[in-house]
Amino acid sequence: MTALRKPSDLRRTQARTGYLFVLPTSVLYLTFVLAPVILTVILSFAYYDPMLGSRWVGLENFQRFFTDRRSLEILWNTLRFTFFAVTFNVSIGLILALALNRAMPGWLLYFFRLAFFLPVIIAAAFVSIVWSYFFGDDLGVINYFLRVLGLPAVRWLTDASTAMTSIVIMDVWKNTGFFMIIFIAALQGVPKSIMEAAVMDGTPAWRQFFRITLPYISPVVFFCIVYASIGALQVYESIVILTQGGPGDATRSLSILIVEQGFGSFQIGYAAAISVVMTVIILVITAIQQALSRKWVQR
Amino acid sequence: MFRISRRNLLVSSAALAAGAGLGLGRAVAQSDATATLKLQTFGGDAELAGINSAIQRFNKAYPNVTVEVSIDPISTGWGDYVTKVLGQFTSGSAADVYGTAIETFQAFSARGLFLPLNDFVAANSGFSDFAPSLFEQGSYNGNINYIPIGWNNIMINYNRDLFDKAGVAYPARGWTWEQFRETAKALTVKDGSGNVSQFGYEVPNQNFFVLPWFFSNGTNILSADWTASNMLDPKVAETLQFLYDLIHVDGVSPIPGAEAMDNQFFAGQVAMINRGQWIVQNAKKNNLNMDIAVPPQKEKEATIIGFGAYAIAKSAANADLAKALVLELTSEETQREQGERGGGVPGRKSAASSEAFLAFPPSAFLYYETLPFTTPVPSPANFQEVEKIFIRHYTAMMSGQETIADGTKAADAELSESFTRLKQQLGG
């Protein structure tokens, strides 16, 4: 058995320097990420009001969430929004990327890319206000043209059956350009030699896409789905500005419920419990996507 | 920290009040008190300008007292303001003087944050210029916690040009729901394609704006003492049905959505809306030929009042100085300035009777004249939750997503749960 060698002075100095380098990041991470997460979990088991008296309530907050018809409806709204927003954002982003990943004059290419990407860089709050004028029932732009064409007007934001669709439409308009840019970058990584060989072999375009392009860019598609899902599950400002969660609860999301309970009704513990539920849902959905990805993502 | 004596304070305050009241030059007795006062309040540019002028006058009597002002525009509702203030108290960084509104009174007073000011009010005869009801509404368990500033009561604001164009007479005192309905119909304009180019009325999308309809029908969404739901009162359903019919039967109003229609009112696309005096400044800016009318009645003439006030934190190290500051912040001079700048009706009758205040709209005198039959906005300690529950079901009922029978029942159940929780929190 050999005795452990004592680290040299140089190694010790290097280690110390290393620790010093990671110290600021670690402190920031502990303070602004880990500590709030731990605090949220602790608060989710409590009724918290420092002035009227706080107390432990065990699983009461979670029980309230899972037995309240309203909170379950809001959870369902959030999942519904996530499914449609992710599906359309990613698929339309991919279609636009395929459409723009071809030979065309440079200025036209940049024009289209800019046109589709521009909504991404505009603040959601501003975009939502503009869309609220488009979606207006009687004085709205879209219904004006529908009526001029002799078509019936649609209650875009004031009918429970169409309000969520309207929000998905705005969300896709706003965010699909981001996925388009990611897909364009991915498509440019597909080896040209393979595509040229497929063309020379007379492979139809749809088969080129499903057999060559899609497998090559599948890790990027997977990233986009996970990224879009996490964002959609936390949707907040666009709904608040367009419908404030209404009519009734038709478009209310979990994030809105958290803010309303925590900062409107001072149910800090209950809001923390909903946050914990939402985090677990995001983790579970991501884990399912990760597990399913083994079947279709090329490693 | 320096504490001024009560005698010094009285001398200085008396001089200050005399100067303010007589509008004389600033020959006021100066105090040598040295301190810093923190003022946390709400409002926009008009309020801030008035506050800064008041502080300048305060500093003439107290040259060594620094007043640090923090003003919140209340852009996201009173719930966030309450959360902010509670956070300041729990973190030990409470201000000395707080400006707030009736919607928050019980949320703060139930937690015992503010000093009782009964003696202070009794010692200052100048407060008799305020309507006594404002002090009653600013009390909690017999303690006056809030000194009123200005208030807003909801009136029907109407575009006189659109009335003239349609050949419709301006609303008269004592007009009824049915007369209102006919007026709104006459003021609604549609083009050949069926597009509405002008609505007669905007069925409100906010609690404060819609409640006068219930009051004028002799009911309310909460019980008289604000401790229980009253949603199952048949008159509540009757009121909701009337508003629903304005939208879906008469077509005189759009379905209330997330956005209020102030801009459409200024643009002449809506003839009548329920708003308070705060709308006057924008009406002037838009050169709108506007006037106001008392909301129409079913059972009685009624409207709603909400008002702002100042309170002094129990934790204030210089409570006497804070009181002197509140005296200046609520002085006639400050009230006149704020009334003329807009934002609300001055709490002092003398300020609300000034020529500048009464100049526009033509019936501005109605703001004060209707004060005796205004009902305060129901503001229990769980106001934020109550408001959200009501508005959620109200918009669902107005859009037809919920029937009025189901909506009132569901709202009643949720409100009852909320009040049960509140009682548990307050140890009741």
Chain B residues whose CB is inside 8 A of the A245 CB are: 392
Chain A residues whose CB is inside 8 A of the B388 CB are: 260, 264-265
Check: pTM over 0.90? Answer yes or no. Answer: no
Q: How many domains does chain A have?
A: 1
- In a domain, residue A190? The reply is yes
- In a domain, residue A263? The reply is no
**Pairing between strand B374-376 and B290-293?**
unpaired
Predicted pLDDT of residue B2: 37
In B278-360, beta strands by DSSP E: 290-293, 303-312, 345-346
Q: Under an 8 A CB cutoff, do B193 and A147 touch?
A: yes
Predicted pLDDT of residue A4: 65
Rounded Cα–Cα distance for residues B415 and B382 (Å): 10
Pick from A35, A63, A23, A51: which is nearest to A266 by CA? A51
- In a domain, residue A121? The reply is yes
Angle among Cα B116, B119, B120 to the nearest 5 degrees reads 85
Rounded Cα–Cα distance for residues A65 and B121 (Å): 47
Nearest by CB: B79 against A158, A159, A263: A263
Chain A residues whose CB is inside 8 A of the B77 CB are: 264
Q: Are B285 and B204 in contact (CB under 8 A)?
A: no
Rounded Cα–Cα distance for residues A18 and B206 (Å): 58
- In a domain, residue A286? The reply is yes
Rounded Cα–Cα distance for residues A196 and A202 (Å): 10
B100 sits in which H/E element: strand B97-101
**Disruptive mutation site among A61, A138, A239, A270 for chain B (greatest number of B CBs within 10 Å):** A138
CB atoms within 10 A of CB A8: 9
**Could you tell me which chain A residue has the CA closest to the CA of B255?**
A158
**Pairing between strand B155-159 and B147-153?**
unpaired
**Could you tell me which chain B residue has the CA closest to the CA of A129?**
B259
Rounded Cα–Cα distance for residues B311 and B85 (Å): 12
- In a domain, residue A21? The reply is no
Domains, chain B, in order of start with CATH, read: 6-153+305-375 (3.40.190.10), 158-202+261-291 (no CATH), 203-258+382-428 (3.40.190.10)
Which CATH number do you get for residue A155? Answer: 1.10.3720.10
Residue identified by tokens 């009051």 is B215
Q: Are B324 and B16 in contact (CB under 8 A)?
A: yes
- In a domain, residue A224? The reply is yes
Range of the domain at A163: 69-254+271-296
Angle among Cα B330, B333, B339 to the nearest 5 degrees reads 80
- In a domain, residue A206? The reply is yes
Helix (H, G, I), strand (E, B) or coil at B346: strand
Instruction: Look up residue A45 and give its amino acid.
Output: F
- In a domain, residue A231? The reply is yes
Secondary structure (DSSP) of B109-147: HTTT-B---HHHHHH-GGGGGB-HHHHHHTEETTEE--E
Chain B residues contacting A, CB < 8 Å?
A: 77, 79-80, 82-83, 86, 89-90, 107, 110-113, 193-196, 199, 254-255, 257-259, 264, 269, 382, 384-385, 388, 392-393, 395-396, 398-402, 414, 418, 425-427
Q: Under an 8 A CB cutoff, do B399 and A158 touch?
A: yes
pLDDT per residue, tens digit, chain B (428 aa), is 334 444 444 444 444 444 444 333 344 567 888 899 999 999 887 788 889 999 999 999 999 999 999 999 887 678 778 888 988 998 889 999 999 999 899 989 988 999 999 999 999 988 998 888 889 889 999 999 999 998 889 999 999 999 999 999 999 999 999 999 999 999 999 887 777 889 999 999 889 999 999 999 999 999 999 999 999 999 999 999 999 999 999 999 999 887 788 989 999 999 999 999 989 888 998 999 999 999 999 999 999 999 899 999 999 999 999 999 999 999 988 888 877 777 788 888 888 888 888 999 999 999 988 888 889 999 998 888 898 899 999 999 999 989 999 999 999 999 999 999 888 877 75
pLDDT per residue, tens digit, chain A (299 aa), is 455 677 788 888 999 999 999 999 999 999 999 999 999 999 999 998 877 778 899 999 999 999 998 999 999 999 999 999 999 999 999 999 999 988 788 888 889 888 999 999 998 888 888 898 899 887 789 998 998 888 888 989 988 889 999 999 999 999 999 999 999 999 998 998 998 899 898 889 899 999 999 999 999 999 999 999 999 999 998 899 888 898 888 999 999 999 988 887 888 999 999 999 999 999 999 999 889 888 877 76
Please list the residues that pair with B374 across neighbouring strands: B303
